[in-house]
Chain A
Amino acid sequence: AQSVTQLGSHVSVSEGALVLLRCNYSSSVPPYLFWYVQYPNQGLQLLLKYTTGATLVKGINGFEAEFKKSETSFHLTKPSAHMSDAAEYFCAVSESGGSNYKLTFGKGTLLTVNP
């Protein structure tokens, strides 16, 4: 069974400050890991994903995440927050193939960016 824990349901940063959103996962098989962003009254937009290979993954809008197997973590970072980054962020895990291919999501982290 898979699970995702996002530490902090709400993170507040100042514009220009570092953004760090934490995600820890549990998976019995090698995971695929994803970060999605949801703006108000919209669907989910893919920010970045890790499947295999390089553990530091770069995504859209200046975000990146690092897969750390030993820590079962996939934290999302951005060096400098922008007002437009304010949204809800979801970390998700899926198994790498098999009949159980579905996304299991964390509870989400609401990011607020203060001017």
Chain B
Amino acid sequence: EAGVTQSPTHLIKTRGQQATLRCSPISGHTSVYWYQQALGLGLQFLLWYDEGEERNRGNFPPRFSGRQFPNYSSELNVNALELEDSALYLCASSRVWETQYFGPGTRLLVL
């Protein structure tokens, strides 16, 4: 069974640009979660989508947004990039209320 996949693996942007990160969940999983792992800040919850709806949101500004498609894949968009947005962005998937399984992450570097 294929695991959670994320693309791209690395992304380099400049301040003020927009970044789009993609995630494909494990087959049969309807929930997708996004986490940010920034140096010195640890792993922080960003967003949770289930059945196409945003279910929960972490303490991040509105320029972090996303969506979930009918095939349950998901996109994370970060607008007006700032230097401190440089981080590893991890996507996880699960059946609703069940264990989350993580992808390899997208490393975003903002210059």
Contacts and interface: CB of A to CB of B under 8 A. Distances in A.
Interface of A: 34, 36, 42-46, 49, 90, 92, 97, 99-108
Tell me if B's interface is mostly helix, strand, loop or mixed.
strand
Interface of B: 4, 33, 35, 42-45, 48, 55-56, 58, 90, 92, 97, 99-105
Contacts of A44: 90, 92, 102
A42 B104 CA distance: 5
Contacts of B105: 42-43
A101 B56 contact: yes
A99 B56 contact: yes
Contacts of B92: 44, 103
Nearest to B47: A102
B102 A45 contact: yes
A102 B33 contact: yes
A19 B92 CA distance: 27
B99 to A, nearest CB: 6
25 contacts: A43-B4, A43-B103, A43-B104, A43-B105, A44-B90, A46-B101, A46-B102, A49-B99, A92-B43, A99-B56, A100-B56, A101-B48, A101-B55, A101-B56, A102-B48, A102-B56, A102-B58, A103-B33, A103-B35, A103-B43, A105-B42, A105-B43, A106-B42, A107-B42, A108-B43
